[in-house]
Homo-oligomer: A and B are copies of this chain.
Amino acid sequence: MSATPARERLVRAAFALFDERGFEQTTVDEIAERAGVGRTTFFRHYRSKEDVIFPDHDGLLSAVKARLDASTEQTALLAVTEAARLVLQRYIEEGENARLRYALTSRVAALRDREIASVARYQRLFREFIGDWMGVTPDGALVAELMAAAVVAAHNHVLRRWLRGDTTDPMAEVDTAMARVTTIFGQRNSSGNGAGTVVMVVRDDRDPDRVAAAVRRALRPPRRLSDPVNDR
């Protein structure tokens, strides 16, 4: 009678109804009815009315974690980038559903909040991984937090561009975006500068002597804590 399994029919019915009448205007009974199942069956497959249109984040999170855990100290940055690719790839494979969901999350606050909460779970994963990689120094904990936030922000930036149809090659874009992140955060010079001083260099083609002079000026008291050096 029904070749396609109930799970899939429920997803189809939900997407269709949300698209036709909106999220709040659709009841779970209606979704179940259109899918040709009982209301109970709906909740047996999806924990909530929102769940039915979201991807399998649990599975994806496991995949991301697996990719990260399979890396060494030296390939940590590569692993982070590839983990981000993994997530983007999954969304792209969804195709039309991903775009429909985007249209819904843009309009419905409850769905947007849920999407954001999911993102936070990925960010947590990245934070823990990067934190372990960087070591447990107080500063490392902060930078791990910043970098994890940047990683998911970069991914989401590219993802949204693709969802809006602003790019045709999202995988290439996520590579450049992630390269941006890793060059910003990945080049930290942790070698013996001494406790208390951190110098971060991000590729410069100007005269090292002039930069050094600027640093000396910046370090001269009385200075406020942590003044940025602007040598232009």
Interface set of A (CB-CB < 8 Å, partner B): 77, 112-114, 116-117, 120, 139, 141-143, 145-146, 148-150, 152-154, 156-157, 172, 175-177, 179-187, 189-190, 193-209, 211-216, 218-220, 225-232
C-alpha spacing A212/B205, complex, angstroms: 17
* Bound-complex Cα distance A224 to B95 (A): 28
B residues in contact with A218, CB < 8 Å: 189, 193, 199, 201
Q: Which residues of B contact A176 (CB under 8 A)?
A: 225-226
Q: Take A189-B218, A209-B216, A220-B208 as given contacts and tell me if A179 and B226 are in contact as well, using a CB distance cutoff of 8 Å.
A: yes
Task: Check A198/B196 contact, CB under 8 A, given A142-B157, A212-B219.
Answer: no
Contacts of A187 in B (CB 8 A): 228, 230
Instruction: Find out whether the CB atom of A219 lies under 8 angstroms from the CB atom of B229.
Output: no
Distance in angstroms from A167 CB to nearest chain B CB is 10
CB distance from A88 to the nearest CB of B (A): 14
Please tell me which one of the listed residues B112, B205, B216 contacts residue A211 in the complex, with CB atoms under 8 A apart: B216
